[in-house]
Amino acid sequence: MIEILQNLDMTPFILSFKLALLTTSILLVISIPLAWYLSQTKSKMKPFLEAITALPLVLPPSVLGFYILVVLSSNSFVGAFFEEMFDIKLIFNFTGLVVASCIYSLPFMVQPIQGGFESLHKNILEASYVAGKGEIETIFRVALPNIKPALLTGLIITFAHTVGEFGVILMIGGSIPGETKVASIAIYEMVEIMDYTAAHIYSAIMVLMSFLVLLSVYIFNAKQAIKIGKYHV
Amino acid sequence: MIEIDIHKKLQGAEGEMLLQINSTIEKGSFTALSGVSGSGKTTFLRILAGLEKAEGEIRVDGEIWLDSVYVKPTQQRKIGFVFQNYALFPNMSIEEHLLFVNKDKTLAKELLDITQLSALANRLPATLSGGQQQRVNLCRAMMNQPTLLLMDEPLSALDNTMRTKLQNEILTLHKRFGTTTIMVSHDPSEIYNMAERVILLDSGKVIEDGSPKEVLLKTSGSAKFSFEGKLIDIVQVDVVYIAIIAIGQQLTEIVVSHDEIKHLTIGQMVNISTKAFSPLIKLT
């Protein structure tokens, strides 16, 4: 048993977590302004933007993967542009996975944060404006500190969702060891070649880590609820 | 001086309604804004604060806050707004609320002293009572050293003792900082105690405007006092009947004759007045 564990190739896990960490960080930066805009706007465009943002939730990963593949390939304008200008290839490598994951996981970050912003009573934000503070200062000093549970939910679900991604990665990245062969793909391959021992170990690690992450989120949220939850406007 | 000439279409309970106010408010004065709910009081305050759009003009000491081409952003108006629902920041302690608005620690200390919050300076809103939360709300508004202080029913959710206390604190702050204050209130005694002027709104229009004495005192004829109350119950005691009437929080018993009760229904609003010793009850 110990021997098996020692010989275990951890690269797919490291790759999975690197991908999830990068995706989560990038999405956090993109989602805060987007979620804020969606929560505050009265524009007629709002339902359209919301529908586009939510699209990855309902589309089969293969459909999404296919379109991303088409758009990012060197035959397309976007793919050709990046290859010409920055010498970056966007498919069948790690960079491509990050781009695809950001699209695929976008709603998992935007929706909780938007929900959090919308749950704030508008008087709280107005109190900040009356005090002379602009929108950016209001977001960082009033809005975000008061939606910590929503923020954490967004971060964790995005992270977990990216770790658990399979279909899109298979379409965009294939299974190149050390480059695009993440944990979920590795497990799939182990099952394919009937290496059930390794598949069991990999799967067990995934289950255990996912459980611990979710558990810590719920413990944190329960503590937050005790701290400031009694105050409702 | 604040010169106001504004109008705005509102969606009221009975369809569309036009809020139309043309008035001037003296610098340093204390004005009460009263009227039934849905008459446009809160919207009027929000327009003054720049939190809501309107057509027309607002000038404050000659400076344009609103006209057909320009709307001065709320952030630059240097106002204080006391929200009815407190609207405190759940993540900030009392002291942080004040310093968020303005880094002036001396002013913060003075305000906390006036409102007796100094001992609670590090507490979060969730741990405060309603009266304490409203004080924080008030102090936060004053930290902006506002030329114009707007208060939307600041005391309506508080009990009587707390009301009186806060009324005094508000007056102290109003005088200490020379602020022009506009307060929405439904309570005649509160208005009488605090304001120099009452503007009464109905369906978006000013229907009365004057001193609290002129607008609120409604004794007519030779009546010495006159209260409006709600008829709670009528009980028969031997040959007479006793009407139990709630005037505000106070219950009173008034003797009524058999003939009089024929005109009374429990739950009705009635007017109680007296000339000398025998109180009269008449329908309102």
Given a cut of 50, whether residue A91 has pLDDT beyond it is yes
Total domains in chain A come to 1
Give the closest of B88, B100, B124 to A131, CB-based: B100
Pairing of strands B63-66, B225-237: unpaired
Least CB-CB distance to A129: which of B74, B80, B125? B74
Q: Chain B: nearest CA to A150, how far in angstroms?
A: 14
Q: Report the amino acid identity of residue A195.
A: D
Rg (Cα) of chain B, in Å, rounded? 22
Q: Is the pLDDT of residue B226 over 80?
A: no
Contact by Cβ (8 Å): A169, A20: no
Q: Average the pLDDT over B57-73 and give the result.
A: 94
To the nearest whole angstrom, how far is the Cα of A127 from the nearest Cα of chain B?
Answer: 7
pLDDT tens for each residue of A130-160? 999 999 999 999 999 999 989 998 999 999 8
Q: What is the per-residue pLDDT for B276?
A: 59
Tokens linked to A210: 């996912």
B144 contacts in A (CB within 8 Å)?
Answer: 130-132
Residue range B225-283, CATH number: 2.40.50.100
Cβ atoms < 10 Å from Cβ of B32 = 27
Domain boundaries of chain B, sorted by first residue: 2-216, 225-283
- Residues of chain B in contact with residue A127, where contact means CB-CB under 8 angstroms, are 81, 83, 87-89, 140
Looking at the domain assignment, is residue A157 inside a domain?
Answer: yes
SS (H, E, C) chain B: CEEEEEEEEEEECCEEEEEEEEEEECCCCEEEEECCCCCCHHHHHHHHHCCCCCEEEEEECCEEEECCCCECCHHHCCEEEECCCCCCCCCCCHHHHHHHHCCCHHHHHHHHHHCCCHHHCCCCHHHCCHHHHHHHHHHHHHHCCCCEEEEECCCCCCCHHHHHHHHHHHHHHHHHHCCEEEEECCCHHHHHHHCCEEEEEECCEEEEEECHHHHHCCCCCCCCEEEEEEEEEEEEECCEEEEEEEECCEEEEEEECHHHHCCCCCCCEEEEEECCCCEEEEEC
The residue-averaged pLDDT of B226-243 equals 84
Q: What is the mean pLDDT of residues A28-45?
A: 96
Whether residue B223 has pLDDT greater than 70:
no
Confidence bin at B256 (pLDDT 50/70/90): confident
CB contact under 8 A, A230 and B126: yes
Contacts of A128 in chain B (CB under 8 A): 89, 100
Of B85, B100, B143, the CB nearest to A233: B85
User: What are the tens digits of pLDDT across the range A183-193?
Assistant: 999 999 999 99
Find out whether B86 and B125 touch, Cβ atoms under 8 Å.
Answer: yes
**Separation CA A110–CA A130 (nearest Å):** 28
Nearest CB partner across the interface for A231, out of B76, B102, B126: B126
pLDDT of residue A54: 95
Question: Which residue did the predictor score with more confidence, B25 or B225?
Answer: B25
DSSP run (H or E) holding A135: helix A135-138
A35 with A151: CB under 8 angstroms?
no
Rounded Cα distance between A211 and A163, Å, is 13
- Residue A158, C-beta contacts closer than 8 angstroms, at least 6 positions apart: A20, A23, A24, A27, A105, A108, A109
The pLDDT of residue B232 is 86
Chain B residues with CB under 8 Å of a chain A CB are 49, 51, 74-81, 83, 85-91, 100-102, 124-127, 140-141, 143-144
What is the per-residue pLDDT for B277? 60
Give the residue on B whose Cα is nearest the Cα of A146. Answer: B91
Q: Do domains B2-216 and B225-283 have the same CATH topology?
A: no
Q: In the CATH scheme, what is the homologous superfamily, with its name and number, of domain B2-216? A: P-loop containing nucleotide triphosphate hydrolases (3.40.50.300)
Provide the CATH number for the domain around residue A146.
1.10.3720.10
Task: Give the highest mean pLDDT range of A105-119, B144-158, B187-201.
Answer: A105-119
Which class for A149: exposed (0-12), middle (13-18), buried (19 or more C-beta within 10 A)? buried
Residue among B213, B246, B214 at smallest CA distance from B231: B246
Using CA atoms, how far apart are residues A228 and B125, in angstroms rounded to an integer?
8
Q: Residue A121 is nearest to which of B85, B91, B140, comparing CB atoms?
A: B85
Q: How far apart are CA A16 and CA A165, in angstroms?
A: 9
**CB of B92 closer than 8 Å to CB of B104:** no
Tell me the pLDDT of chain B averaged across its residues: 89
Instruction: Kindly report the nearest CA distance between residue A117 and chain B, in angstroms.
Output: 13
CB contact under 8 Å between B90 and A231, yes or no, is: yes
Residue B219 is predicted with a pLDDT of 54
3-state helix, strand, coil in chain A (%, to 5): 80, 0, 20
Enumerate residues 6+ apart whose C-beta is below 8 A from B270: B228, B229, B230, B231, B245, B264, B281, B282, B283, B284
Q: What are phi and psi of B157, to 5 degrees?
A: -95, 5
Please determine, for residue B280, whether its predicted confidence score (pLDDT) is greater than 90.
no
Percentage, residues of chain B above pLDDT 70: 95
CB contact under 8 A, A130 and B81: yes
Give residue A145's domain range: 2-228
* Nearest Cα to Cα of residue B169 among B96, B106, B104, B116: B116
pLDDT of residue A186: 92
B chain contacts of residue A126, beta-carbon cutoff 8 Å: 49, 51, 74, 81, 83, 87
Contacts of A121 in chain B (CB under 8 A): 85, 87
Model confidence band, residue B15 (pLDDT cutoffs 50, 70, 90): confident
Inspect the interface and report whether the beta carbons of B126 and A121 lie closer than 8 Å.
no
